[in-house]
């Protein structure tokens, strides 16, 4: 049955739900906002209620962390019911101006940050970067991500990886400024039409390159390509997997020591959704001097930072303590010097929380690649 002729109930397999409540029980947002995803799955069965449900502000509290999908014993994706409801609102045009502007920017400039496409490769200035050309063979084709390309706070992720790979003698190339948003946030915001267009255009564009694999810097791009791009001909990996290979081959040479206690925050898109837990830990643990700590809530149980699911453009309905603040307080209790993440959204939200709590003098939030850039010979 084509997706157009499917009812809402069929599309999200609502009849498969046994109302066990494991989704709501695991949802990290439930403790701070009015979101009860089990109830939405139950109520969305009545097609006459869909429009009314779509107007409830709490559907925008979901961060698309996927905990509910991981916990559902029937293999459902309860969060996608919320995304389906968002689609109803997006199609009616009644979305926050911030959301509308982000979507329009993706359509016009290929990124949600309202930046010019012509500036997408500005971060490369002064670096020895090979630009990929269609048809020209390359081992590792890098997809940089809109946030890393444009946000000066996280551009070091891309800049450091270029230095490191050049030093390690790895064959790699980055896409030119024609690279467009993978659509991760477009999907979770519920703009179905735009997302389908991105999947089609990006698949056609990326398939022009003769790469052995595509390496993403952000776990959002990683999971989106793996989950929603069935016709992409190249395998997709996250950069921590590539660096873990280099570590194994003895190609990462450390300079100096980092006498710090580091706790790794599992990004939802890398861990729960991508299944990558060990590679980032191995990279951190190998930096001489590092003591690697673990959050109580780590790996599959990791607490979401609330950076995904379009939350960069939507205010929460709740004024209760943000999950990123909880995460930083947990790190403080562990006496961690550094909270490391492997995701630009996690870095931005956790760093904001760290500043909000006034811990800037005693703690640091860093992307793994920032740390490796400082401690790997390059």
| Count, residues near ligand SF4 per rule CB under 6 A | 27
Min dist. Cβ of residue 67 to ligand SF4 (A): 4
Q: For ligand SF4, which residue of 76, 198, 214, 341 counts as binding (CB under 6 A)?
A: 76
Q: Counting beta carbons within 10 angstroms of the beta carbon of residue 270, is it exposed (0 to 12), middle (13 to 18) or buried (19 or more)?
A: buried
Contact between 20 and ligand SF4 (CB under 6 A)? yes
Where does this chain touch ligand SF4 (CB under 6 A) — which range of 58-66, 98-106, 289-297, 346-354? Answer: 58-66
What burial class does residue 94 get, using C-beta atoms within 10 Å of its C-beta: 0-12 exposed, 13-18 middle, 19+ buried?
A: exposed
The reply on whether position 36 binds ligand SF4 by CB under 6 A is no
Query: Given candidates 41, 44, 132, 290, which one binds ligand SF4 under the rule CB under 6 A?
Result: 41
Give min distance, CB of 81 to ligand SF4, in A: 8
d(CA 270, CA 247): 19
Judged by CB under 6 A, which of 8, 27, 160, 215 binds ligand SF4? Answer: 27
Measured distance CA(272)–CA(259) in Å, rounded: 30
Give the strand order in the sheet containing 338-341: 291-293, 261-264, 338-341, 364-367
Q: With beta carbons less than 8 A apart as the criterion, state whether 341 and 347 touch.
A: yes
78 binds ligand SF4 (CB under 6 A): yes
Q: Which of 8, 29, 228, 267 binds ligand SF4 (CB under 6 A)?
A: 29
Stretch binding ligand SF4 (CB under 6 A), from 72-80, 121-129, 133-141, 327-335: 72-80
Distance CA 336, CA 200 (A): 44
Decide whether 63 or 302 has the Cβ nearer to ligand SF4: 63
Q: Should residue 365 be labelled a site residue for ligand SF4 when binding is judged by CB under 6 A?
A: no
- DSSP for 257-317, please give it: ----EEEE---TTTTTTT---HHHHHHHHTSTT-EEE--SS-GGGPPP-S--TTTTSS--S
Q: List residues near ligand SF4 by CB under 6 A.
A: 17-23, 26-27, 29, 37-38, 41, 62-68, 71-74, 76, 78-79
């Amino acid at each position: 049955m084509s997706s157009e002729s499917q009812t809402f109930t069929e599309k999200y397999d609502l009849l498969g739900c046994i109302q066990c409540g494991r989704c709501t029980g695991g949802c990290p947002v439930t403790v701070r906002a009015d979101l009860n995803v089990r109830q939405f799955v139950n109520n969305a069965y009545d097609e006459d209620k869909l429009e009314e449900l779509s107007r409830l502000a709490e559907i925008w509290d979901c961060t698309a962390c996927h905990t509910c999908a991981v916990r559902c014993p029937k293999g459902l994706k309860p969060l996608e019911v919320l995304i389906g409801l968002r689609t109803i609102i997006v199609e009616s045009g009644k979305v926050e101006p911030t959301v509308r502007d982000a979507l329009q920017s993706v359509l016009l400039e290929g990124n949600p940050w309202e930046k010019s496409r012509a500036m997408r490769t500005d971060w490369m200035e002064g670096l020895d970067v090979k630009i990929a050309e269609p048809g020209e063979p390359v081992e590792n084709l890098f997809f940089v991500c809109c946030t890393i390309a444009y946000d000066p706070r996280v551009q070091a992720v891309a800049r450091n990886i270029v230095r490191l790979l050049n030093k390690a003698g790895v064959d790699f190339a980055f896409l030119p400024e024609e690279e467009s948003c993978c659509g991760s946030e477009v999907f979770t915001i519920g703009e179905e039409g735009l997302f389908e267009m991105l999947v089609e255009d990006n698949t056609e564009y990326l398939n022009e390159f003769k790469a052995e694999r595509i390496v993403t810097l952000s776990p959002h791009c990683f999971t989106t390509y793996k989950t929603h791009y069935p016709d992409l001909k190249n395998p997709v990996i996250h950069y921590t997997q590539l660096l873990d290979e280099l570590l194994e081959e003895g190609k990462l040479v450390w300079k100096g020591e980092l006498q710090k206690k580091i706790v790794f925050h599992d990004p939802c898109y890398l861990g729960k959704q991508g299944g990558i837990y060990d590679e980032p830990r191995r990279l951190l643990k190998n930096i001489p001097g590092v003591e690697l700590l673990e959050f109580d809530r780590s790996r599959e149980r990791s607490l979401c930072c609330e950076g995904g699911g379009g939350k960069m453009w939507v205010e929460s309905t709740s004024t209760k303590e943000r999950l990123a603040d909880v995460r930083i307080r947990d790190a403080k209790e562990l006496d961690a010097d550094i909270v490391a993440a492997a995701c630009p959204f996690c870095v931005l939200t956790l760093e904001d929380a760290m500043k909000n709590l006034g811990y800037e003098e005693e703690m640091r939030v860093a992307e793994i690649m920032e740390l490796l850039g400082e401690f790997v010979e390059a």
